[in-house]
Amino acid sequence: MKRFVPLLLAGILLLILQTTWWSFFPIPWIRPDFLLIFTLYLAFIFPPFLGGILAFFMGYLMDLFSGNTLGLYAFSRTLAFFATQFLKERFYLEGFSFQFLFAFVFSLLEGGFLLVLIHGLEPVSFENLYLSLFTHLLPQSFCTGLAALLLFPLFQMGTSLLLSQPKQGIKARG
């Protein structure tokens, strides 16, 4: 719980950043997804149960403040979390190129998944789907990848500060 609450607050802070400050970005439809990066990071440091709840909450926050009524993000973020959990034994979250690629690929996959869901729920021609793949999804994922280069080290610093235990005294150590 001690670790859970600060990370929850960090998620809320990132959401506020995403909905307010980042809206001043000159291209409004291309904005890095801070919460996705945070969710991916959580998968590397949290156990499945607690992290899963956090990931679900991050998605729920996205759903709450977006025009989406179906809870798509709550679903996709939890999926992204467990997919990362599955892969985390095979990778180290180190090196800029890996961090960039990791966030880029996950953003691309999540975007594609959401697009298919949206278009599945409201059938329109696949022409639009392909078009948004190039005009929205690729630049958006690229931006998320770039933001990950800055955010992953920041999260690592924050977590090490949060999880660092105070030095035990001689008595406590025995």
Partner 1 sequence: MFALVLMSLRAKQRKGVEFFDVLLMEVCSPLEKASTLVIKTVQRTFQEHVFLVNVEKENRTLKRKVAELQEENRRMVEMKLANERLKRLLQFREETPLSMVGAEVIGQDPSSWFKSVTIDKGERDGVRKGMAVISAAGVIGQILKTAPHYATVLLITDYNSAVDSIVQRTRAKAIVEGNGENRCQLKYLLRTEEVAVGDAIVTSGLAGNFPKGLMVGEIKKVDKKGHGVFQYAELVPSVDLTKLEEVFVVMEPIPPPPPSTEEKTKKVKKIKK
Which residue in the set 18, 39, 85, 159 belongs to the binding site for partner 1 (CB under 8 A)?
Answer: 18
Q: Are 77 and 55 in contact (CB under 8 A)?
A: yes
Which residue in the set 114, 129, 146, 149 belongs to the binding site for partner 1 (CB under 8 A)?
Answer: 114
Structural Rg of the chain based on CA atoms: 18
Q: Between 91 and 130, whose beta carbon lies closer to partner 1? A: 130
Least Cβ distance, residue 67 to partner 1 (angstroms): 3
Is residue 39 part of the contact set for partner 1 (CB under 8 A)? Answer: no
The closest alpha carbon to 114, from 54, 51, 33, 57, belongs to 33
Least Cβ distance, residue 151 to partner 1 (angstroms): 15
For 18-54, b/e burial (b = at least 16 CB within 10 A) is beeeeeeeeeeebbbbbbbbbbbbbbbbbeeeebbeb
The closest alpha carbon to 81, from 116, 104, 61, 110, belongs to 110
Is residue 132 part of the contact set for partner 1 (CB under 8 A)? Answer: yes
Q: Between 25 and 91, whose beta carbon lies closer to partner 1? A: 25
Residues that bind partner 1 (CB under 8 A): 15-16, 18-20, 22-23, 28-31, 33, 35, 61-62, 64-69, 73, 111, 114-115, 118, 122, 132, 136, 140
